[in-house]
Amino acid sequence: MSLPASTLSPTTSLARRNGGQILMDQLRAHGARRVFLVPGESYLPCIDALNEHRGAIEPIVCRQESGAAYMAEAYGKLTNEPGICFVTRGPGATNASIGVHTAFQDSTPMILFIGQVGNDFVEREAFQEIDYRRMFGPMAKWVAQIDATDRIPEYIARAYRVATSGRPGPVVLALPEDTLWGEAEVADAQPMAKLHSHPGAAQLEALKARLAEAERPFLLIGGSGWTAQAQAQMAAFAERFDLPVGVAWRRLECFDQRDPRFVGHVGFAMDDALRERLEHSDLLIAVGTRMGEATSEGYSWIQSPTPRQTLVHVYPDPEELGRVYHAELAINADVVGFAAALDGLAPDTSPRWADQTRAARADYLATLEPQPAPGPLSLDKVAASVDRRLDGQGCISVGAGNYALYAHRYVRFAGLGSSLAPTVGSMGYGLPAAISFKLEHPDRPAVCFAGDGCFQMNLQELGVALQYDVGLVILLFNNGMWGTIRAHQENDFPGREIALTFTNPAFTTLVESYGGLGEIVERDEDFDAAFERALAFAERERRPALIELRYEADGIAPGKRLSAIREAALAR
């Protein structure tokens, strides 16, 4: 939702204000348009201060703090601005911690505000008291407590700077009650222009020299902070050098996969041909990605500390460069600064690897053909149908689970904002993320892929969809078990299944109780029409539509069956 410029002008008065008023004035001055919260008495002055910002800052009242934190994290992914979340002390903070961890590992700008006991009660284990510096220290870029009302502007300005600079990430600020109820006459802190780091001329020449020497280069793109312009500049660079391009694990939105140079999603469950190309590449240009455990498939195709490939690593945090992998050329630059600098880089001769890029693209296109699946409903065909129908429009969100592999494999994501997926692999993310997308882009379709277990971790946020007229589509993958864990169980303890199944509610009745539409699909031939009805209902009624997919549980992932995993494990 865009707001008129007149509503965004910050408060400049030095009138005496309480801490809640000062804080909300700072958020408005820094461009906050939406805050996600679960109300608590510990920060009531902040809630009250929202009255002065009606039409400028939209409060989204969530049902549980993990849902609120996920929505804020998704907002950060979509806008490159900090997602703002407010929760109460103690239980509220612990519930919200999953969103902070997600923002940390996903490098997403986010600010979590937590109500706190007053300084007169601190260190007594007062009601719901926690030391948030110790609690959030390992999973946030900065954790602090604002103990003086007149320093609120200083802390908010720093929080925005820390959350968005270098490698983006979460900031946690605790708000003691006496700070919020206290009053001060203090000037507002004005926002600073966003800083970008750029490569040096010598580094660009070194990159060009390595490309001139290479025989089998590969461009791997990931990370956060991308803009439409940066993606276009990176695509133009790949075109000039005719480079095969892959996206890092769950960074599916970082490159338009309809581009003729896109060759695959790098990470867990990737295609064998893609893995072989990565292993035998002689020049790997990694831009914006840490190449963590998931992308590297357990640090296998790229070795630590010295990769077999010549590695050019571009990353905004200098502490990450050399942390896991030794790069022959390390470039400390963010994706926007690096992409802009590439505009002047071009090959002196035609690239020698053009045939390899065409072959890699053909291999990728072959993976879009649905794999054989057991039973009358093929999840492969379902995902391929979604891809055809959306045709690059809108956003697909997922949480964690093997069901997400169907979207990852068969949907051709169309760049910025087309995917919301937690690289940290946290469950319950898909529904809150889809809601956050629709709040930001109400006229674009949002489809949430959700496992039956994953969905039930945050299904209460359907209340947010009902309250704020959010029309989205949920594809509910119902196999009655924790499927990913079951696959691991069959691999490690074949034939000894226990403690991984559950009894599900009537999902269609559940969504109908929230004013939505529910349907059950059990056959391939019924899906397309049901999906059309769901999309039309979501757009027309601005309510959630859910399609419950009932399928043969033996089909655990694209081209994989539980029975085959068990047989192979028993044979070993």
pLDDT by residue for the chain (572 residues), tens digit each?
334 433 444 445 578 999 999 999 999 999 999 999 999 999 999 999 999 999 999 999 999 999 999 999 999 999 999 999 999 999 999 999 999 999 999 999 999 999 997 667 676 676 666 899 999 999 999 999 999 999 999 999 999 999 999 999 999 999 999 999 999 999 999 999 988 999 999 999 999 999 999 999 999 999 999 999 999 999 999 999 999 999 999 999 999 999 999 999 999 999 999 999 999 999 999 999 999 999 999 999 999 999 999 999 999 999 999 999 999 999 999 999 999 999 989 999 999 999 999 999 999 999 999 999 999 999 999 999 999 999 999 999 999 999 999 999 999 999 999 999 999 999 999 999 999 999 999 999 999 999 999 999 999 999 999 999 999 999 999 999 999 999 999 999 999 999 999 999 999 999 999 999 999 999 999 999 999 999 999 999 999 999 999 999 999 999 999 999 999 999 98
Place of tokens 């896991």: 324
Pick from 143, 285, 164: nearest CA to 222: 285
pLDDT of the residue at 6: 37
Determine, yes or no, domain membership for 483.
yes
pLDDT of the residue at 4: 40
The answer to whether 324 and 305 are in contact (CB under 8 A) is: yes
The answer to whether 399 and 450 are in contact (CB under 8 A) is: yes
β-bridge mates for residue 560, sequence order? 557
Determine, yes or no, domain membership for 501.
yes
C-alpha to C-alpha distances, 81 to 74, 226, 451, 517, 546, nearest whole angstrom? 10, 12, 29, 33, 30
| Three-state secondary structure call for residue 179 | helix
The answer to whether 472 and 500 are in contact (CB under 8 A) is: no
**Shared domain check, 525 and 461:** yes
The answer to whether 291 and 324 are in contact (CB under 8 A) is: yes
- Structure token pair of residue 13: 């008065």
Buried b (16+ CB within 10 A) or exposed e, 184-209: bebebbeeeeeebbbbeeebbebbee
- Structure token pair of residue 276: 């072989």
Determine, yes or no, domain membership for 133.
yes
Torsion sign over Cα 18, 22, 24, 28: positive
The answer to whether 395 and 444 are in contact (CB under 8 A) is: yes
Which CATH number fits the domain that encloses residue 241?
Answer: 3.40.50.1220
**Shared domain check, 392 and 276:** no
**Shared domain check, 437 and 338:** no
- Label the pairing between strands 58-61 and 217-221: unpaired
Of the CA atoms within 13 Å of residue 315, those in its CB half-sphere come to 23
* Nearest-angstrom CA–CA distance, 124 and 133: 16
- For the chain, how many structural domains are there in total? 3
* Nearest-angstrom CA–CA distance, 108 and 32: 16
Q: Which helix (H) or strand (E) holds 467?
A: helix 462-467
pLDDT of the residue at 344: 85
- Residues in contact with 231: Cβ distance below 8 Å, sequence separation at least 6, in sequence order: 254, 255, 256, 339, 415, 416
What's the DSSP call for residue 396? E
* Nearest-angstrom CA–CA distance, 292 and 298: 8
Determine, yes or no, domain membership for 49.
yes
C-alpha to C-alpha distances, 31 to 10, 25, 38, 107, 495, nearest whole angstrom? 9, 10, 21, 20, 56
- C-beta neighbour count of 337 within 10 angstroms: 19
**Shared domain check, 401 and 291:** no
* Nearest-angstrom CA–CA distance, 221 and 208: 18
**Shared domain check, 291 and 160:** no
Which CATH number fits the domain that encloses residue 173?
Answer: 3.40.50.970
**Planar angle of CA 504, 508, 514, nearest 5 degrees:** 110
Place of tokens 């925005």: 160
Determine, yes or no, domain membership for 195.
no
Picking from 316, 350, 366, the residue at the C-terminal end of a domain is: 366
First to last CA, the chain: 56
The answer to whether 56 and 87 are in contact (CB under 8 A) is: no
The answer to whether 450 and 475 are in contact (CB under 8 A) is: yes
pLDDT of the residue at 127: 64
**Shared domain check, 392 and 518:** yes
- C-beta neighbour count of 391 within 10 angstroms: 10
The answer to whether 128 and 89 are in contact (CB under 8 A) is: yes
Place of tokens 């502490």: 319
**Shared domain check, 315 and 421:** no
* Nearest-angstrom CA–CA distance, 317 and 124: 39
Determine, yes or no, domain membership for 61.
yes
Determine, yes or no, domain membership for 326.
yes
**Shared domain check, 278 and 331:** yes
pLDDT of the residue at 331: 98
Pick from 443, 375, 447, 367: nearest CA to 404: 447
Q: Which helix (H) or strand (E) holds 536?
A: helix 524-541
Domain with 249, as residue range(s), is 201-366
**Shared domain check, 159 and 214:** no
- pTM (2 d.p.): 0.95
Picking from 366, 383, 399, the residue at the C-terminal end of a domain is: 366
Question: Which amino acid, residue 375?
Answer: G
- Residues in contact with 47: Cβ distance below 8 Å, sequence separation at least 6, in sequence order: 20, 37, 39, 59, 86
* Nearest-angstrom CA–CA distance, 88 and 64: 11
**Shared domain check, 132 and 210:** no
- Residues in contact with 470: Cβ distance below 8 Å, sequence separation at least 6, in sequence order: 435, 438, 439, 442, 464, 542, 543, 544
Picking from 121, 151, 184, the residue at the C-terminal end of a domain is: 184
**Shared domain check, 337 and 397:** no
Determine, yes or no, domain membership for 192.
no
* Size of the chain, expressed as the number of residues it contains: 572
Please tell me whether the peptide bond between 305 and the residue prior to it is cis, using omega within 30 degrees of 0.
yes
* Nearest-angstrom CA–CA distance, 548 and 356: 42
The answer to whether 431 and 458 are in contact (CB under 8 A) is: yes
**Shared domain check, 373 and 362:** no
